Amino acid sequence: MDNDIKQRLNSISALFVLINIVYFLILELSGATSNIEEMVRFGASRADLVFFNYEYFRLVSSMFMHFDIMHIAGNMIILFLLGERLEHVIGKVNFILIYLLSGIFSSVFSCIYDIYVNDMVVSAGASGAVFGIIGALIYILAVSKRMVEGLELRSMILMTVLMLYYGFTSSNVDNIAHIAGGLIGFVLSMAIYRPIRRDLA
């Protein structure tokens, strides 16, 4: 097996992919993915339940839930391709922190917005955490001024713009979570990542 593939499969990001897939299969086989009430029962996020019923566990559980195969496929492909690269640069513990905190707080901001507009939408998905990874990589590429395992700053920014454009031109997309996740990942990366300094002789 190729060493690059082995490294990716042994990463924390691959473990997160596996958890998402297993939970999706459980939801799919139980019929929950086609039933909003069942998704809520299994842990999807809804602002009133999180803030007024104090069901804070939903901020975490909803990160590992997806509504359909296209929903999970898009998030897991990006997580698998980019997650290990970020993990390699900042380490496993820091990667876990960025992934989970980006996902949790993107959901928090999404819930705040839903309360503000009085629209109690049921939300689920790893996209807030995935955008956190993207935001962290953008910061690292910007301050290190070099490629990170084949990634370039311009291509990452372009990909982010296209993803946000798709979100704003599509229905049932949590754009607040995407933007918040990206910004949180960027800020956390500022606190965590220290570029290697090369002193001139």
For residue 82, what is the enclosing H or E element? helix 69-90
Among the options 13, 106, 127, 189, which is catalytic?
127
147 CB neighbour count, 10 Å cutoff: 11
Write down the residue that tokens 């290190």 correspond to.
Answer: 144
Residue 87 and residue 13 in contact, taking contact as beta carbons nearer than 8 Å: yes
> Does the annotation count 178 as an active-site position?
yes
The rounded distance, in Å, linking the Cα atoms of 48 and 52 is 5
Given 13, 102, 106, 178, which residue is catalytic? 178
Q: What is the three-class DSSP state of 45?
A: strand
Dihedral (C-alpha) 56, 183, 68, 6: value to the nearest 10 degrees? Answer: -100
| First-residue to last-residue Cα distance in the chain | 41
Catalytic annotation on 61? no
Residues acting as catalytic residues: 127, 178
